[in-house]
Amino acid sequence: MTDIITMTDIITPGDSDALIVVDIQNDFCPGGALAVPRGDEVVAIVNRLAKMFHNVVLTQDWHPRGHFSFASTHPGKNAYDTITVSYGPQILWRDHCVQETPGAAFHDALQIPHACLVVRKGLDRAIDSYSAFYENDRATPTGLAGYLRERGIRRVFLAGLAFDFCVRYSAEDARRENFAAFVIEDACRGIDIGGSVAATHVSLAGLGVPRIIAAEIKPGIMG
Q: Is 186 exposed, middle or buried (0-12, 13-18, 19+ CB in 10 A)?
A: middle
**Strand locations in the chain, DSSP E?**
17-22, 55-61, 82-85, 88-91, 117-121, 155-161, 180-189, 211-212
Does residue number 61 form part of the binding site for Zn ion (CB under 5 A)? yes
Cβ closest to Zn ion, residue 37 vs residue 206: 37
Question: Which residues in the 75-114 window bind Zn ion by CB under 5 A?
Answer: none
Is 116 catalytic? The answer is no
Instruction: Name which of 124 and 186 has its Cβ closer to Zn ion.
Output: 124
Letters for 111-150 (x = contact with Zn ion by CB under 5 A, - = none) are -----------x----------------------------
To the query of whether residue 97 is one of the catalytic residues in this protein, the response is: no
Contact predicate 147/120, CB 8 Å: no
Q: Is 143 exposed, middle or buried (0-12, 13-18, 19+ CB in 10 A)?
A: exposed
Catalytically annotated residue among 27, 61, 97, 166: 166
121 is annotated as an active-site residue: yes
Instruction: Give the residues lining the site for Zn ion (CB under 5 A).
Output: 61, 122
Which positions are catalytic? 23, 121, 166
